[in-house]
Protein backbone atom coordinates (compact mmCIF):
# COMPACT_ATOMS: atom_id res chain seq x y z
CA UNK A 1 0.00 0.00 0.00
CA UNK A 2 1.85 3.05 -1.28
CA UNK A 3 -0.48 5.82 -0.09
CA UNK A 4 -1.46 6.59 3.45
CA UNK A 5 -5.09 7.16 2.35
CA UNK A 6 -7.72 4.49 2.70
CA UNK A 7 -8.35 2.80 -0.67
CA UNK A 8 -12.12 2.82 -0.11
CA UNK A 9 -12.09 6.57 0.62
CA UNK A 10 -9.78 7.23 -2.35
CA UNK A 11 -12.21 5.51 -4.75
CA UNK A 12 -15.26 6.90 -2.93
CA UNK A 13 -16.87 3.51 -2.20
CA UNK A 14 -17.92 1.71 0.97
CA UNK A 15 -15.96 -1.25 2.40
CA UNK A 16 -18.86 -3.53 1.41
CA UNK A 17 -18.81 -2.40 -2.24
CA UNK A 18 -18.95 -5.05 -4.95
CA UNK A 19 -16.36 -5.48 -7.68
CA UNK A 20 -18.72 -3.77 -10.18
CA UNK A 21 -19.12 -0.69 -7.95
CA UNK A 22 -15.33 -0.47 -7.47
CA UNK A 23 -14.79 -0.78 -11.23
CA UNK A 24 -17.34 1.95 -12.00
CA UNK A 25 -15.79 4.35 -9.44
CA UNK A 26 -12.26 3.63 -10.72
CA UNK A 27 -13.17 4.33 -14.36
CA UNK A 28 -14.82 7.63 -13.47
CA UNK A 29 -11.81 8.83 -11.44
CA UNK A 30 -9.24 7.39 -13.90
CA UNK A 31 -10.70 9.46 -16.72
CA UNK A 32 -10.54 12.57 -14.53
CA UNK A 33 -6.90 12.09 -13.36
CA UNK A 34 -5.34 10.28 -16.36
CA UNK A 35 -1.91 11.75 -17.30
CA UNK A 36 -2.92 12.12 -20.98
CA UNK A 37 -5.83 14.40 -20.00
CA UNK A 38 -3.71 16.44 -17.55
CA UNK A 39 -0.57 17.38 -19.49
CA UNK A 40 2.31 18.15 -17.14
CA UNK A 41 0.25 17.96 -13.92
CA UNK A 42 2.36 15.87 -11.51
CA UNK A 43 -0.31 15.87 -8.80
CA UNK A 44 -2.86 14.31 -11.17
CA UNK A 45 -0.31 11.65 -12.22
CA UNK A 46 0.34 10.69 -8.55
CA UNK A 47 -3.40 10.45 -7.84
CA UNK A 48 -3.84 8.26 -10.94
CA UNK A 49 -1.10 5.92 -9.68
CA UNK A 50 -2.80 5.69 -6.26
CA UNK A 51 -6.16 5.01 -7.93
CA UNK A 52 -4.67 2.22 -10.02
CA UNK A 53 -3.07 0.65 -6.93
CA UNK A 54 -6.34 0.86 -5.02
CA UNK A 55 -8.30 -0.66 -7.93
CA UNK A 56 -5.77 -3.48 -8.30
CA UNK A 57 -5.90 -4.28 -4.59
CA UNK A 58 -9.69 -4.12 -4.15
CA UNK A 59 -10.59 -6.14 -7.27
CA UNK A 60 -8.29 -9.03 -6.36
CA UNK A 61 -10.13 -11.10 -3.69
CA UNK A 62 -6.92 -12.31 -2.00
CA UNK A 63 -5.33 -8.84 -1.86
CA UNK A 64 -8.63 -7.33 -0.65
CA UNK A 65 -8.82 -9.77 2.29
CA UNK A 66 -5.24 -8.93 3.28
CA UNK A 67 -5.95 -5.21 2.90
CA UNK A 68 -9.13 -5.41 5.01
CA UNK A 69 -7.24 -7.36 7.69
CA UNK A 70 -4.50 -4.73 7.73
CA UNK A 71 -7.10 -1.99 8.31
CA UNK A 72 -8.41 -3.71 11.44
CA UNK A 73 -4.95 -4.13 13.01
CA UNK A 74 -3.38 -1.34 15.07
CA UNK A 75 -0.06 -1.56 13.25
CA UNK A 76 0.10 -2.36 9.59
CA UNK A 77 2.69 -5.03 8.94
CA UNK A 78 4.21 -5.13 5.47
CA UNK A 79 3.24 -8.08 3.29
CA UNK A 80 5.92 -10.73 2.97
CA UNK A 81 7.81 -10.23 -0.25
CA UNK A 82 9.24 -12.84 -2.56
CA UNK A 83 12.67 -11.74 -3.84
CA UNK A 84 12.30 -14.09 -6.84
CA UNK A 85 8.85 -12.85 -7.89
CA UNK A 86 9.98 -10.98 -11.01
CA UNK A 87 12.99 -13.15 -11.84
CA UNK A 88 13.28 -15.16 -15.01
CA UNK A 89 14.48 -18.28 -13.19
CA UNK A 90 13.01 -19.94 -10.08
CA UNK A 91 14.81 -19.63 -6.73
CA UNK A 92 17.77 -21.95 -6.24
CA UNK A 93 17.13 -25.23 -4.48
CA UNK A 94 19.11 -26.15 -1.39
CA UNK A 95 21.85 -28.70 -2.03
CA UNK A 96 21.02 -32.36 -1.54
CA UNK A 97 21.82 -33.53 1.94
CA UNK A 98 21.48 -37.14 2.98
CA UNK A 99 20.05 -37.41 6.44
CA UNK A 100 21.51 -39.93 8.88
CA UNK A 101 18.13 -41.59 9.35
CA UNK A 102 18.03 -42.50 5.66
CA UNK A 103 20.41 -45.46 5.15
CA UNK A 104 21.79 -46.13 1.71
CA UNK A 105 20.43 -49.68 1.57
CA UNK A 106 21.72 -52.75 -0.19
CA UNK A 107 20.77 -51.93 -3.78
CA UNK A 108 23.80 -49.76 -4.71
CA UNK A 109 26.13 -52.42 -3.31
CA UNK A 110 24.29 -55.16 -5.23
CA UNK A 111 24.65 -53.17 -8.44
CA UNK A 112 28.40 -52.65 -7.91
CA UNK A 113 28.87 -56.36 -7.09
CA UNK A 114 26.86 -57.38 -10.16
CA UNK A 115 28.94 -55.17 -12.46
CA UNK A 116 32.16 -56.54 -10.94
CA UNK A 117 30.98 -60.15 -11.37
CA UNK A 118 30.00 -59.45 -14.97
CA UNK A 119 33.44 -58.00 -15.74
CA UNK A 120 35.18 -61.04 -14.21
CA UNK A 121 32.92 -63.46 -16.09
CA UNK A 122 33.49 -61.71 -19.41
CA UNK A 123 37.25 -61.59 -18.88
CA UNK A 124 37.31 -65.36 -18.20
CA UNK A 125 35.08 -66.17 -21.16
CA UNK A 126 36.89 -63.92 -23.62
CA UNK A 127 40.42 -64.88 -22.52
CA UNK A 128 42.28 -66.74 -25.29
CA UNK A 129 42.94 -70.39 -24.50
CA UNK A 130 46.51 -71.37 -23.63
CA UNK A 131 47.82 -74.72 -24.85
CA UNK A 132 48.35 -77.02 -21.90
CA UNK A 133 51.85 -78.20 -22.76
CA UNK A 134 54.30 -75.62 -24.01
CA UNK A 135 58.02 -75.94 -24.48
CA UNK A 136 59.07 -73.69 -21.66
CA UNK A 137 62.19 -74.19 -19.59
CA UNK A 138 61.63 -75.77 -16.21
CA UNK A 139 62.55 -74.35 -12.85
CA UNK A 140 65.99 -75.99 -12.98
CA UNK A 141 68.07 -75.88 -16.16
CA UNK A 142 71.71 -76.79 -16.75
CA UNK A 143 73.44 -75.49 -19.87
CA UNK A 144 77.03 -76.22 -20.81
CA UNK A 145 79.53 -73.68 -22.17
CA UNK A 146 78.51 -74.32 -25.78
CA UNK A 147 74.83 -73.57 -24.95
CA UNK A 148 73.63 -77.15 -25.00
CA UNK A 149 70.87 -77.92 -22.50
CA UNK A 150 72.12 -80.74 -20.29
CA UNK A 151 69.16 -80.80 -17.94
CA UNK A 152 65.76 -79.10 -17.80
CA UNK A 153 63.09 -80.14 -15.31
CA UNK A 154 61.01 -78.90 -12.42
CA UNK A 155 60.63 -82.34 -10.84
CA UNK A 156 62.81 -82.73 -7.70
CA UNK A 157 63.30 -86.51 -8.37
CA UNK A 158 64.73 -85.79 -11.82
CA UNK A 159 67.15 -83.29 -10.30
CA UNK A 160 68.45 -85.84 -7.78
CA UNK A 161 68.93 -88.45 -10.49
CA UNK A 162 70.81 -85.97 -12.70
CA UNK A 163 73.09 -84.96 -9.82
CA UNK A 164 73.91 -88.62 -9.00
CA UNK A 165 74.69 -89.25 -12.64
CA UNK A 166 76.99 -86.20 -12.85
CA UNK A 167 78.77 -87.15 -9.61
CA UNK A 168 80.26 -90.20 -11.24
CA UNK A 169 80.68 -88.84 -14.82
CA UNK A 170 81.74 -85.20 -14.25
CA UNK A 171 82.83 -84.43 -10.66
CA UNK A 172 83.71 -80.79 -11.46
CA UNK A 173 80.20 -80.06 -12.76
CA UNK A 174 78.74 -81.90 -9.78
CA UNK A 175 80.63 -79.66 -7.30
CA UNK A 176 79.46 -76.51 -9.10
CA UNK A 177 75.85 -77.68 -9.15
CA UNK A 178 75.97 -78.82 -5.54
CA UNK A 179 77.31 -75.45 -4.40
CA UNK A 180 74.56 -73.65 -6.33
CA UNK A 181 71.85 -75.83 -4.84
CA UNK A 182 73.16 -75.50 -1.29
CA UNK A 183 73.46 -71.72 -1.63
CA UNK A 184 69.78 -71.48 -2.34
DSSP string of the chain?
--SSS-HHHHHT--TT--HHHHHHHHHHHHHHH-TTTSTT-HHHHHHHHHHHHHHHHHHSHHHHHHHHHHHHSSS-PPPP--TTTT-SSPPPPPPP---TTS---SHHHHHHHHHHHHHHHHHHHHSPPPPS------SEEEE-TTS-EEEEE--HHHHHHHHHHHHHH-HHHHHHHHHHHHH-
* pLDDT (0 to 100) of residue 26: 93
Please determine, looking at this structure, whether the domain spanning 7-72 carries the CATH number 1.10.287.110.
yes
Query: What tens digit of pLDDT does each residue of 48-81 get?
Result: 999 999 999 999 988 888 888 888 764 455 555 6
Q: Check: CB of residue 57 under 8 Å from CB of residue 7.
A: yes
* pLDDT (0 to 100) of residue 55: 93
Can you give the residue ranges of every domain in the chain? Answer: 7-72, 140-183
DSSP summary character for residue 34: -
User: From the first residue on, what is the mean pLDDT of each consecutive set of 10 residues in the chain (184 residues)?
Assistant: 70 90 92 87 89 92 86 58 61 60 72 88 77 51 71 70 76 72 58
Amino acid sequence: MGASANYYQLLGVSPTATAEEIKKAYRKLALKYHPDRNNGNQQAALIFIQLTEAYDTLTNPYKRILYDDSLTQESIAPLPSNPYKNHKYPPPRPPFERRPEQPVGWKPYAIVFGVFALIVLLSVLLMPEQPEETLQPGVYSVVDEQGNVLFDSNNPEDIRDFLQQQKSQNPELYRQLDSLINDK
